[in-house]
């Protein structure tokens, strides 16, 4: 995925997240919605991580296409 594709994917995920957050609790099972929101948040973290990897490779003079999507458990384990 190139940078533009990653940004497009992030935009899609953000829109989906906003729609889910705007739904009234009665419009669906809250447990299922919570799980879907969590999945979207993890995917967003992975996309942002991939962009940071690409940027770091560019700054280092390396090929940004060598950046790889990291597993959720690795991305979610980062300290902020």
Q: Could you state, in order of their start, the residue ranges of all structural domains in the chain?
A: 3-75
Radius of gyration for the chain, computed over Cα atoms and rounded to the nearest angstrom: 15
- In angstroms, the Cα distances linking 31 to 23, 27, 59 are 13, 12, 42
Tens of pLDDT, residue by residue over 7-54, are 999 999 999 999 988 876 665 567 888 899 999 999 999 999 999 999
- Confidence (pTM): 0.84
Tens of pLDDT, residue by residue over 28-39, are 567 888 899 999
- In angstroms, the Cα distances linking 56 to 11, 12, 17, 18, 31 are 22, 24, 28, 29, 38
More confident of the two residues 31 and 68: 68
Tally of CB atoms within 10 A around 24: 6
Q: How far apart are CA 57 and CA 63, in angstroms?
A: 6
């Amino acid at each position: 995925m190139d940078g533009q594709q990653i940004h497009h994917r992030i935009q899609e995920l953000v829109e989906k997240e906003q729609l889910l957050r705007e739904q009234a609790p009665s419009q669906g099972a809250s447990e299922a919605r919570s799980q879907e929101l969590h999945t979207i948040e993890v995917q967003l973290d992975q996309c942002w991580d991939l962009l940071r990897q690409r940027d770091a490779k560019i700054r280092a003079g390396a090929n940004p296409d060598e950046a790889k999507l990291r597993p959720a458990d690795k991305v979610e384990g980062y300290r902020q």
